[in-house]
A and B are shown apart, each in its own frame.
Chain A
């Protein structure tokens, strides 16, 4: 499913990490590396807007296409992809069984979202009502003193909007030329005029383009579900534990002139922080690593020839 056949969706979205990646910054395509943290795909089907910068706001079909074809992600020419899928008898049968008929570029983009729809939170204490006393205290702080709920609300615990919380830059984005090249290519492609001189991740500015730059450094409020398995945190993976995240907000977030004014020092005690972390943990359910979610069959890595090719319709 990638241009050079070296990576799959699951390379950056690993089932054992709640379909995210444990590195601060995602691996990306073979010739480069990525400049953002790989988010969990669990519950992604509930989103209305995707990506840390919120640049995709249509549907999972488009998201799938974007991830497969983007040169710094999977660099797949979908016409080659279609012909690869058609060459594999197992896929040919599976597409037929799924009611898609002949495998095609279009049916791949339909089938992957159908799979993503099955990746939903299972048995999170928050949903089952079996939260510990500490987690229950944490929920009260979350809604009250800490005010997290102002942005982290609704079933996904996200308002689906972009905000600036002052998360510090991950300098590896700029100091590693393999990451920086992807960052430049992305900014160039998104029409960010200053792409060669940027020393910060512009976030949603790449599509909201506020003339005064007041949208610089804004990122989509992430869901707080499945955080237990999807460390490290933030759009650039700069925070390794949930306690670090809570500390960050307790001090009022980071330094940025665009920072959301609602972020103020919270003065949380250690036990309040621990309760908050317990609540955040209660938002995580089962790991989705069973056969239902993970293909454990083999991939031969090679393609057999179609027999009697000259007499067979392509």
Chain B
């Protein structure tokens, strides 16, 4: 059964949904990556592209059907945000690649974000989340997004209070976590469990690797050879997720939005201020320092974690600030050695990786490579948004009138 059908069934009734998720969770437990030879690259010997193995499930947050179902509700619930207008899905919209199609993601009302929204699909397999890999788990990613000033801008106390006034959540948190009253940290755990069910295992490339040699077109097969050879993509985009999860500055230029939009400029300064850079850097830096913010090490400026290439057919635009609109633009960018068509590159040229060099690809080769990149995506993963449970007063009028002071 493919994911689209699965998810359509999912939304019919809660019971059917549970059954489907049960099947999926148990199947994935047995899942093993197809063993493929390692590849010699300009970045040393790297794992070959292959299928995904078992979904990594943290020992302290086991999947259960009820938890996943609760997480699904919470993922779509805007009450987990400051002014109750933006849910996780607000920037990770299922019909838009579980991401957001602007170069820079929409942000909390009154703000704009400063990075591109990444897809939720297959994020279970990442060891760390966010563009600079700043959090170690999906459980840590969710609150960071829900609470960030230009994302959800929520605070724990009010979000937890809201959950307590929704009888359906009281019931479900009690069932799933044994909470007397819903605890906000358990909301993040449930959302993480839901996200771990959003995976794609049946891309054309997966089928090809599993032995269906017709799963890729001739163009794509030529593209794969380029990917693993002349174009050097495999140097970083390796293994089951097509990422080494390491950090590189590949030359992505600053966002033109920072140059041209007031709201974007506000957020740019806020992010640098909030992340604790020196005043001199706050005053003068005009590009996203990426990994630098974590350790404040100059050699980390402009580095970002290699993103997965899975599901990218649906997640344009590309790169941490969406500066490249299409997969063709991405291939052109690499072919030029990390320079955009309009001649722009990173402000942090000193930290740019030597792995990125002009490739000298022909037009034909570029086409083949783009065709192959599309093989990292299967059918679109759809979902029917759940009907959200409503607030209800916690006390009756009589209970309130009867109190003795």
A119 interface hit (Cβ, 8 Å): no
A80:B150 contact, CB within 8 angstroms:
yes
B242-274: CB near A (< 8 Å → 1, else 0) gives: 000000000000100011111111110110111
A171:B403 contact, CB within 8 angstroms:
no
Assembled-state Cα–Cα distance A305/B262 (Å)? 4
A252-284: CB near B (< 8 Å → 1, else 0) gives: 000111100000000000000000000000000
Residues of B within 8 A of A32 (CB): 84, 158
Give the residues from 379 to 405 in chain B that come closer than 8 angstroms, CB to CB, to chain A.
391-395, 397, 399-401, 403, 405
B95 interface hit (Cβ, 8 Å): no
Q: List 9 other contacts, CB 8 Å, given A185-B161, A309-B286.
A: A3-B110, A79-B149, A80-B270, A177-B391, A178-B391, A184-B164, A196-B181, A255-B405, A303-B266
If A80-B270, A175-B393 touch, whether A29 touches B150 (CB-CB below 8 Å) is: no
Assembled-state Cα–Cα distance A255/B283 (Å)? 60
Residue of A nearest to B394 (CB): A180
Q: How large is the interface on A (under 10, 10 to 19, 20 to 34, 35 or more residues)?
A: 35 or more
Distance in angstroms from B182 CB to nearest chain A CB is: 11
A167-196: CB near B (< 8 Å → 1, else 0) gives: 001010011111011101100110000001
Assembled-state Cα–Cα distance A304/B263 (Å)? 8
A65 interface hit (Cβ, 8 Å): no
Residues of A within 8 A of B79 (CB): 31
Distance in angstroms from A218 CB to nearest chain B CB is: 12
Residues of A within 8 A of B400 (CB): 169, 171, 174-175, 199
A70-78, A120-128, A231-239 - interface stretch: A70-78
B262:A4 contact, CB within 8 angstroms:
no
Assembled-state Cα–Cα distance A99/B154 (Å)? 34
B82 interface hit (Cβ, 8 Å): yes
Which one, A72, A77, A181, A304, contacts B262 given CB within 8 A? A304
B108:A3 contact, CB within 8 angstroms:
yes
Assembled-state Cα–Cα distance A180/B163 (Å)? 12
Residue of A nearest to B166 (CB): A177
B175 interface hit (Cβ, 8 Å): no
Which one, A3, A30, A31, A189, contacts B157 given CB within 8 A? A189
A305:B153 contact, CB within 8 angstroms:
no
A75:B83 contact, CB within 8 angstroms:
yes
| Chain A interface, DSSP helix/strand/loop, else mixed | loop
B145-162: CB near A (< 8 Å → 1, else 0) gives: 000011001110110111
Give the residues from 278 to 311 in chain B that come closer than 8 angstroms, CB to CB, to chain A.
282-284, 286
A39 interface hit (Cβ, 8 Å): no
A144 interface hit (Cβ, 8 Å): no
Residue of A nearest to B78 (CB): A31
A6 interface hit (Cβ, 8 Å): yes
Assembled-state Cα–Cα distance A266/B83 (Å)? 47
Distance in angstroms from A102 CB to nearest chain B CB is: 11
Q: Closest 4 interchain pairs by CB?
A: A303-B262, A5-B110, A31-B84, A177-B391
Assembled-state Cα–Cα distance A216/B403 (Å)? 13
Give the interface of A toward B (CB within 8 A).
2-6, 29-32, 71-72, 75, 77, 79-80, 82-84, 86-87, 166, 169, 171, 174-178, 180-182, 184-185, 188-189, 196, 199-200, 216-217, 255-258, 302-306, 309-310, 313-314
Residues of A within 8 A of B264 (CB): 305
Distance in angstroms from B245 CB to nearest chain A CB is: 30
B354 interface hit (Cβ, 8 Å): no
Assembled-state Cα–Cα distance A44/B115 (Å)? 43
Total A-B residue pairs with C-beta atoms closer than 8 Å? 163
Give the interface of B toward A (CB within 8 A).
79, 81-85, 108-111, 149-150, 153-155, 157-158, 160-162, 164-165, 181, 254, 258-267, 269-270, 272-274, 282-284, 286, 391-395, 397, 399-401, 403, 405
Which one, A169, A175, A176, A305, contacts B265 given CB within 8 A? A305
B85:A30 contact, CB within 8 angstroms:
yes
B157:A185 contact, CB within 8 angstroms:
yes
B109:A6 contact, CB within 8 angstroms:
yes
Q: List 10 A-B contacts (CB under 8 A).
A: A4-B153, A6-B109, A31-B158, A71-B158, A77-B149, A83-B266, A83-B270, A169-B400, A181-B158, A182-B158
A257:B405 contact, CB within 8 angstroms:
yes
Distance in angstroms from A190 CB to nearest chain B CB is: 10
B158:A72 contact, CB within 8 angstroms:
yes
A176:B83 contact, CB within 8 angstroms:
no
Which one, A77, A166, A181, A313, contacts B284 given CB within 8 A? A313
If A3-B108, A30-B83, A313-B284 touch, whether A71 touches B394 (CB-CB below 8 Å) is: no
Which one, B81, B155, B158, B284, contacts A314 given CB within 8 A? B284
Distance in angstroms from A213 CB to nearest chain B CB is: 10
Residues of B within 8 A of A305 (CB): 259-262, 264-265
Which one, A199, A216, A217, contacts B399 given CB within 8 A? A199
B393:A82 contact, CB within 8 angstroms:
no
Assembled-state Cα–Cα distance A217/B83 (Å)? 29
If A181-B162, A258-B405, A309-B258 touch, whether A87 touches B109 (CB-CB below 8 Å) is: no
Which one, B83, B261, B399, contacts A4 given CB within 8 A? B83
A71:B109 contact, CB within 8 angstroms:
no
Residue of B nearest to A176 (CB): B393
A4:B110 contact, CB within 8 angstroms:
yes
A314:B269 contact, CB within 8 angstroms:
yes
B83:A309 contact, CB within 8 angstroms:
no
Residues of A within 8 A of B165 (CB): 177, 180-181, 184
Assembled-state Cα–Cα distance A188/B183 (Å)? 12
Residues of B within 8 A of A180 (CB): 161, 165, 393-394
